[in-house]
Amino acid sequence: MKKATLDTSESLSRKIYDKELKRLHGELVALQEWAKATGAKICVLFEGRDGAGKGGVIKAITERVSPRVFRVVALPAPSEREKSQMYAQRYLPHLPAAGEIVIFDRSWYNRAGVERVMGFCTEAQAEKFLDTISAVERVIIDSGVILLKYWLEVSPEEQTRRIEQRIHDPRKIWKLSPMDLKSYSRWYDYSRARDAMFAASDSAWAPWYVVDSNDKKRARLNVISHLLSKVPYEAPARAKVKLPKRQKPKDYVEPEDVRHHVPAIF
């Protein structure tokens, strides 16, 4: 993959961002076709505080590829049955099969983050999870999965700005829940939980990659570039495509227009 060099001291213009994103989208399509051809299994986790930009990064990755290959997993709160299972168990069925790229919008690390901070699990349960999760990830990787873990790091000031936008922008109010507001007030509890998570699960086989997400556009380009650099893909050779001739209408006649049309108000 050809890498671009951008001046990080200046604000990234929309023109440059769109140009680089278009180039990276082409590489993601090549990655997709390589995964389909080789049966590769890729799993990408995104974690970070509310407002860190996880959704925007995931959208930038997936907007030009096939949802049949790139699957996004964002699980709801666990059911009573799932609460009784081994913690990571509810996530395991969503791991990629051959030719799939699975993206977790929050993952099993919920236990080390929001559940621990907000009291949805005990300290003992959180510690037990952190004691065992690296071994679980080793088993996942040994099964042939390429596992990448990203933490999006946002400053307190930028998080405040983004959450205030959610309050006032009707397009974003769905992103704001009472839980988000409670989480917002516990910045340093989340910092301690993040630090403990890194200390316990930043393993040699599944390291954490931290992304500065204060600049959304740069974060998206940096994550995609890094993801591509961590997978040994090669774009499969493409056969030349030539459009065939359309058939002649022969006796076909368009029917009288009795269909219901959407009003053309724009």
In tens, the pLDDT along 51-108 reads: 999 999 999 999 999 999 999 999 999 999 999 999 999 999 999 999 999 999 999 9
Pairing of strands 100-105, 70-73: parallel
pLDDT at 7: 57
Within-domain flag for 246: no
The CATH number of whichever domain residue 99 belongs to comes to 3.40.50.300
User: In this structure, is the dihedral angle defined by the CA atoms of residues 56, 179, 150 and 107, taken in order, positive or negative?
Assistant: negative
pLDDT at 176: 85
Residue 167: which domain range? 14-229
Is residue 5 domain-resident? no
- Number of domains the chain contains: 1
CA 106 – CA 265 distance, rounded (Å): 40
> Is 42 part of any domain?
yes
**Position 252 in a domain:** no
Q: What is the pTM of this model?
A: 0.91
- The answer as to whether 234 is a domain residue is no
* Residue 182 domain flag: yes
Say how far apart CA 42 and CA 36 lie, in whole Å: 11
The mean pLDDT of the chain is 94
Please report whether residue 262 resides in a domain.
no
For residue 83, is it left (φ>0), alpha (ψ between -120 and 50) or beta? alpha
Query: Which pLDDT does position 5 carry in this prediction?
Result: 57
CB 15 within 8 A of CB 215: no
The set of residues, in sequence order, having a beta carbon less than 8 Å from that of 205 and lying 6+ positions away, is: 134, 137, 138, 141
Residue 56 confidence (pLDDT): 97
- Per-block average pLDDT, block size 10, for the chain (266 residues)? 57 94 98 97 97 96 98 94 92 98 97 95 97 97 98 97 92 86 92 98 98 97 98 92 94 85 90
Position 81 in a domain: yes
Instruction: Name which of 165, 161, 148, 150 is nearest 214 in CA terms.
Output: 161
